[in-house]
Structure 1
Amino acid sequence: MNEKEAREYISELFSIVGTNSVLVVLPRGKLKRLYCPFWVIAKVDVPPLEKGKEYTVEAVKMTLHLQDVFIIERKAYLVWYFAVKV
């Protein structure tokens, strides 16, 4: 997928789901929507963020490589570095 196609896909996707929430699957299979701001816990050190500390997600975005990112302290971090606190 080229950059133009990625931008179009992201634009269409976020017109449906938005950038202010995520869907989380709970242990018993229930689905829950969390709206920003919500809390996450860093699973690894991602300077300047530290493993084990809690952070507030300001928004949810997507890179041009179609990877989801959390916006924390006005910077983008890949979502798999965090556990969502429900």
Structure 2
Amino acid sequence: MSNGKISIEERRNRIAAIQSVIPGLGHIYKGHYGLGVIILLLSPLILWAGLILGWATFGFGLFLPFAFIAFIAYQAYHLNDRRKHHAGIL
């Protein structure tokens, strides 16, 4: 970051993390298509398991979906960008 401006790479990392609100989209955005689709397909199962565990553990299991989404966003932020972006396009 120079002169108060955010680099293109930093913007792409932030966009990937924000897209991970729907787990897997950030990975797809960065060009990791296989991993993104797997996460996209498995995330409802993880979220459902967290809701079930929430009942069984007096609410402690509700932490699982939030931790899962936070981890996926963190991973998408730090992945290498495999896509070939044109200059100036996010």
Indicate the TM-score class for this superposition, using the shorter chain for normalisation: under 0.3
TM-score, length-scaled by structure 2? 0.26
TM-score (norm 1): 0.27
Q: Indicate the structure with greater strand content.
A: 1
Structure ranking higher on relative contact order (CA contacts 8 Å, 6+ apart): 2
